[in-house]
Chain A
Amino acid sequence: MKPVLLWSDALFFLLIAAALAGALWASRIPQLRQSWRKVGESRTGMAAAVLLLAFLGVAVLDSLHYRERLPGEGENYAVEVRSALDALLTGLRTRTERTYSAPLATHSFAKESLDGEVGRDFPRLVYGGAHLGGDPAGQGTDLLARTVQGLGTGLLAWFALWLALAPLRRRVPGLAWHAAFLTLLGLCLSAGVVAMLAQGYHVLGTDKVGQDVLYLTLKSIRTGLLIGTLTTLIMLPAAVALGLLAGYAGGWVDDVIQYLYTTLNSIPGVLLIAAAVLMMQVAIDTHPEWFATAAERADARLLALCAILGITSWTGLCRLLRGETLKLRELEYVQAARSLGVAHARILARHILPNVMHIVMIAIVMDFSGLVLAEAVLSYVGIGVDPNTISFGTMINTARMELAREPMVWWSLAAAFIFMFALVLAANLFADVVRDAFDPRAAR
């Protein structure tokens, strides 16, 4: 086994490390700690945070990539790049059917001509309910038994987590731990049930080529999170630096930066993204030697998409920061610093930046959900991620054809919808709570 560090993995881990470092730094500054405490005291905030952490956990597992060693002599590795999540979900990944099957089904979704029989019937699935043998009559009891078993396992897992997190709960009292553990309970129970059922069935059905939809949705989480976070990472320095500079320096610097973002804003975003993605694709296609594996190629395209989304989305935050800086610049403490002879760079770093950080914070969390949705839309119109990359957008794109079938194949879309909905809703709720806690105007 050889670990593989894709570029997006590196950036993702860097971002997580930066967030942890930021959290450590924030815990030493009383005002920030107080604001975050307010987030923690909100029930909605804690519940949303637990859900987001669960998603983050999946994404982190899915970012630990490796290449398997091939059997035989010599250092030969498989061309497929797998992740820790793939390893965990080997069962789901390998138990592919021939084609569509409905959630929890034992038979295929469409009739086929069967060998050795006259006429057409629904063929028995290879894996779905295979343990039931030839007679699927006991399916109902089996499902019930597995559900109960899953609930039990979930409850046990939750209890274990509850015990494990007890010291933390004691150390930071006063937070909305009830809401957090209630959400966690819900998560554990549903995860337990799904895990139990998934061992014998395709819980969310299979897609056209027989892949398990549950596996696809879990794999999509990383793509969504990456797009939401890496884009922010790319746009943030530009937005903050240019916004502060424009507001503080004024004059021609302000004019240049304003013209820059007004121009960028007046180009239709989708067109700009489409053009950039197509150029990127041509570049990738003409230089196959750049990439050792297909995963690296898909990864490059994902990063390119993040970069392009970042380039088109920094203008809003930049404009906000410019306005705020214009206001702060005239405040008396900035004037006082100037009259004390403090250098401009130091004024920007010590007086202006800390006082606009709440805006940056709010913008980051609010932009996140928008970016996850943007990925889905862009992939749907075919200018998003690489077709090989599993993402909510590509799932929705294929669902377009499935919805046109008769009878309709609804589970791909429904699964993508539910997961994306949960992710975006949690992010939005969290953003709301963060805004309430950090916005000094909302405090009153």
Chain B
Amino acid sequence: MSLLSVRDLTVSIGATQPVGEVSFDIARGETFALVGESGCGKSMTALALMRLLPNAARIAGGAIRFGGDDLLVRSEAEMRTVRGGKIGMIFQEPATSLNPVLTVGAQIEEALRLHAGGDALAKVVELLAAVGIPDPERRAGEYPFQMSGGMKQRVMIAMALAGEPELLIADEPTTALDVTIQAQVLDLLHELKTQRGMALLLITHDLGVVARMADRVGVMRDGRLVEVAARADFFRAPAHPYSRALFDALPENLDPPEQKSAPAGRQALLEVRDLRVHFPIRRGLLQRAVAQVKAVDGIELALAAGRTLALVGESGCGKTTAGKAILGLLDKTEGEVALDGAPLTGLVPDRMQMVFQDPFGSLDPRMRVGEIVAEGNRSVDIAGLLEHVGLDAGMAERYPHEFSGGQRQRIAIARALAVNPALLICDEPTSALDVSVQAQVLRLLADLQARLDLAYLFITHNIAVVDYLAHEVAVMYLGRIVERGTTGEVLRSPRHPYTQALLAAVPKLHGEPGEKLLVPGDPPSPANPPSGCHFHPRCPHTTTRCREAYPGAAAISDSHFVACHFPS
């Protein structure tokens, strides 16, 4: 008999139905993944299971049976023993899921008191150890701000486990985390599930995560469950057209753009030499600088016209800072940025432009699209430009809030193109978009590059996007470039242990779950980088030399450089 059985679950908000007639079962010890794009109702389904829907929403019909128990007829007081006790839940954003003024130990203890009892402190330590937090006795007395994002998510998992739930609902548990940390957390969830025989309802938009974790998969679209299948079947032959469209939209499945074979070895358009951006840490009465955060610590880049250089790294590695410093939005501490051989001192609006990450934050909500697009160049042909990026000329009179994320990103691209730049710095332009929209924007970027001979400095953490769009790749770790080369060289034969770990951590669609190459620990703080090679505390091949000296760049080929003592 299945542990959870959902039949024709319907949630309504006023006249709309965010969830309509959803039915699925989860057996004990099974992982069921609910996949879909944003707004498809997957989170709403999870909240309905817990009866934690927002005030405006209500369950309009259907049945939820948990272990033979009808959850919909339970009183609110009875539901409280189910929540946390029978069903645990972890949320997307670990930073806001923990109370910042209580120690993590106290917060886990609270969950324990409600659902278990017994020797609380010993249990807390035991739980923290179970979720893989080193030195759990000390960590139990720490506050959330003293922990990294990955740690906080582990604490959240520990809290959810406190009531020894039979079902754990994980709502996008790793979306806010870096890829190496994501791999750690996913492994942890898998391990805990196997150890405790828990069922896991995993809600995600990432098919890679599904491939890695799920036993069975449900695909949601517009509130309906369009396909339910076992993992192997789903990945071999997705049945529903929408599922197939999801697969087709993945960057690794897109047809490679034509200009992918753009000529190499052209005159460099952009040259960056020894770029450093340091932020002072000020302390004391007179606000004197006591130390420096070396956000960008000496990077070298070169990029020719019509080509794409991807700057890859995890959050906090300094890639966005580097992009802004190259553009001139941030003052550089040292180094030189040269465009067409001429060193730059400030902004050059007509040559370099930027496309930002958040399509909702990058357009002024009080301006019309036409005004936004013409902001840098008032004499531009707005209608032509909008059509250029795949929008209607008539949209110029409308306001940004009327557009979807993908359309907004097109508007942002049009705004940047209005001044006819030679170089676009794209700061994670697709990371806030759904996968199908991401595919459209990526195609647009590739198309524009072919037509306008644009150069892109593409800042991202998404390896699949890099593979699709970039000619060259530079991998950043803690403010420095650890490996740089053509896309083929870096992605197919990575030489730096960090690059290898990064690539291995990306959940793959058709990967074997067997091979694990995990980097332990969290990225260190750029305010206090480790001695010697920055990567040595997490590196599997560390030697004394790594601890003492930062390695110079070793050339593997004419275009491939690695900053490692042992570029094997």
Contacts and interface: CB of A to CB of B under 8 A. Distances in A.
Interface of A: 29-31, 331-333, 335-342, 350-351, 354-355
B347 interface: yes
Contacts of A355: 364-366
B550 interface: no
Contact of A331 (B354, B361, B416): B361
Nearest to A31: B366
Contacts of A354: 364, 366
Nearest to A351: B364
Contacts of B362: 331-333, 335-336
B325 interface: no
A339 B353 contact: yes
Contact of A350 (B327, B367, B419): B367
Q: Considering residues B327, B364, B399, which has the most beta carbons from chain A within 10 angstroms of its beta carbon?
A: B364
Contacts of A333: 361-364
A339 B329 contact: yes
Given A331-B361, A332-B357, 17 more contacts: A332-B358, A333-B364, A335-B324, A335-B362, A336-B362, A338-B329, A339-B327, A339-B328, A339-B353, A339-B354, A340-B375, A340-B415, A340-B419, A341-B347, A341-B350, A351-B364, A355-B364
A29 B352 CA distance: 33
B349 A336 contact: no
Contacts, number: 61
B376 interface: yes
Contacts of B375: 336-337, 340, 342
Interface of B: 324, 327-329, 347, 349-350, 352-354, 356-358, 361-367, 375-376, 399, 412, 415-416, 419
Nearest to B371: A350
Nearest to A337: B375
A342 B329 contact: no
A331 B361 CA distance: 6
A30 B354 CA distance: 29
16 contacts: A29-B366, A331-B361, A333-B361, A333-B362, A333-B364, A335-B362, A336-B354, A336-B415, A337-B364, A339-B329, A339-B349, A339-B352, A339-B353, A340-B415, A341-B376, A342-B376
Closest 6 CB pairs of A and B: A341-B349, A340-B376, A332-B362, A332-B356, A354-B366, A333-B364
A331 B327 CA distance: 16
A96 B271 CA distance: 90
A33 to B, nearest CB: 12
B530 to A, nearest CB: 30
Contacts of A30: 399
Nearest to B327: A339
A339 B325 CA distance: 11
A429 B49 CA distance: 40
A335 B364 contact: no
A325 to B, nearest CB: 14
Contacts of A342: 375-376
Contacts of B363: 333
Contacts of A340: 349, 353, 375-376, 415, 419
A339 B365 contact: no
A244 to B, nearest CB: 15
Contacts of B328: 339
A294 to B, nearest CB: 49
Nearest to A331: B361
A34 to B, nearest CB: 10
A342 B419 CA distance: 12
B279 to A, nearest CB: 14
Given A30-B399, A340-B415, A340-B419, A335 B329 contact: yes
Nearest to A336: B362
Nearest to A440: B365
